[in-house]
């Protein structure tokens, strides 16, 4: 079996639009995080947060919660939508070779860059750099918190050959049963927080709940397959249901942050982000709705600009924190309470300028022979 046969798939136009917009939403999320870190801190949110005024409270809730939380699930759904079920005749080894040769070399490259490059401008100490390098076989570097996403993506690739045979045989009803169990599992974080710290068999000697194997990003994988092969809705119905689901899920997600984000003293970040995990019911509903809306795009071909940008998004995602942090400092100035640019404008401007810088840099790197091992394209 030629590996090219595994990667040759029918081109889906609306997926290009999802990649382009979801990549921007990732940067919008990280631009927002500058405004609820501890005072004068610029970068990703840490374990403790602080909202300094009502303006920051509202606009972070809007941009990060209402707009941005669907970014990661959309990428997960897209990956599954294109890859599941596997092509007939493709072995597990062939699938792994194809997928991991595309993502692991760039991932390793940027792990090293985030562990070493900040030394050049005093962004980290040698002690921190060495600690990050020692950690690399086990987790992402401290300066690259956004690369947590690579591990769930790898887990999806690992499980695709296992679930593909079932998905090929499963009926729509079978998949709906699984999706129902997945839906229930999205309430587990809330049950943990508000009802019981240990649930359905959890204890100090067992961390796997009763719904462990029906939870997590596998649910998005099955949902993607169900949408593609079983959801035979008209465009009008997709627009209506998609709009309602997206708005309800996004509105709750934004409100959840605003509700907890009372300005003043420090707040435990998990408490502030109590409804922001990507496998929670509100994010699931919003992501499902958004994907339906994108699927209503009926163009037969992708505009050249969009298709070209879509191919760059993996590299843009990998490098964007190198640009976003210094750009954020330009807009924020001395304090996130009184940034040089009003917060309602600063957040999208930071995201947009970072996006442009990443797109240009990734495009230039793509002209270098062997660049696919660094930026994945």
> Does pLDDT of 39 surpass 60?
no
Q: Report pLDDT digits (tens) over 236-265.
A: 999 999 999 999 999 999 999 999 999 988
Q: Is the pLDDT of residue 41 over 60?
A: no
Selection from 245, 202, 244 nearest residue 223 by Cα: 245
Per-residue pLDDT at 123: 86
Q: What is the mean pLDDT of residues 187-213?
A: 94
DSSP β-bridge partners for residue 32: none
H or E stretch at 280: none
Q: Give the bridge partners for 206, in sequence order.
A: 203
Q: What is the pLDDT of residues 159-169, one digit of tens each?
A: 999 999 999 99
Mean pLDDT, the chain, whole residue set: 91
Q: 192 versus 86: which is more confidently predicted?
A: 192
pLDDT of res. 162: 95
Per residue in 178-188, pLDDT (tens digit) is: 999 999 999 99
In percent, how much of the chain has pLDDT > 90? 82
Tell me, what's the pLDDT at 89? 86
Beta-bridge partners for 268: 48
Q: Is 191 exposed, middle or buried (0-12, 13-18, 19+ CB in 10 A)?
A: middle
pLDDT at 40: 44
pLDDT at 42 over 60: no
Q: What is the DSSP letter of 268?
A: E
Q: What is the Cα–Cα distance from 208 to 210, expressed in whole angstroms?
A: 7
Q: b or e along 285-319 (b: 16 or more beta carbons within 10 Å of the residue's beta carbon)?
A: bbbbbbbbbbbbeeeeebeeebbbbbbbbbbbbbb
Please report the pLDDT score of residue 293 as a whole number: 97
pLDDT band at 275 (very low <50, low <70, confident <90, very high): very high
Region 291-311: mean pLDDT is 93
């Amino acid at each position: 079996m030629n590996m090219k046969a595994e990667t040759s798939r029918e081109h889906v136009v609306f997926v290009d639009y999802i990649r382009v917009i979801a990549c921007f939403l990732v940067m919008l999320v990280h631009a927002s995080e500058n405004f609820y870190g501890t005072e004068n801190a610029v970068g990703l949110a840490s374990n403790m947060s602080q909202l300094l005024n009502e303006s920051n409270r509202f606009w972070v809730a809007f941009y990060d919660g209402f707009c941005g939380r669907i970014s990661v699930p959309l990428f997960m759904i897209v990956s599954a939508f294109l890859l599941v079920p596997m092509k007939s005749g493709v072995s597990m080894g062939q699938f792994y070779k194809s997928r991991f040769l595309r993502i692991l070399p760039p991932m390793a490259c940027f792990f090293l860059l985030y562990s070493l490059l900040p030394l050049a401008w005093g962004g980290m100490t040698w002690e921190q750099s060495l600690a990050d390098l020692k950690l690399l076989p086990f987790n992402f570097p401290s300066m690259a918190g956004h690369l947590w996403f690579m591990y769930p993506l790898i887990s999806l690739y690992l499980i695709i050959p296992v679930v593909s045979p079932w998905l090929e045989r499963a009926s729509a009803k079978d998949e709906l049963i699984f999706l129902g169990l997945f839906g229930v599992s999205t309430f587990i974080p809330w049950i943990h927080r508000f009802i019981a710290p240990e649930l359905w068999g959890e204890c100090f000697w067992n961390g796997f709940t009763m719904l462990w194997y029906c939870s997590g990003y596998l649910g998005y994988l099955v949902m993607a397959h169900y949408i593609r092969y079983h959801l035979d809705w008209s465009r009008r119905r997709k627009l209506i249901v998609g709009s309602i689901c997206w708005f309800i899920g996004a509105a709750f997600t934004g409100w959840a942050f605003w509700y907890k984000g009372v300005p003043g003293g420090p707040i435990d970040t998990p408490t502030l982000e109590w409804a922001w995990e990507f496998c929670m019911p509100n994010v699931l509903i919003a992501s499902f709705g958004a994907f339906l809306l994108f699927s209503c795009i009926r163009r037969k071909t992708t505009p050249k600009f969009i298709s070209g940008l879509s191919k760059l998004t993996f590299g843009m995602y990998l490098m964007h924190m190198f640009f976003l942090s210094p750009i954020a400092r330009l807009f924020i100035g001395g304090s996130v309470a009184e940034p040089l640019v009003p917060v309602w404008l600063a957040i999208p401007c930071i995201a947009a300028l970072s996006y442009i810088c990443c797109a240009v840099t990734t495009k230039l790197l793509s002209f270098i022979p062997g660049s696919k091992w660094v930026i994945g394209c």
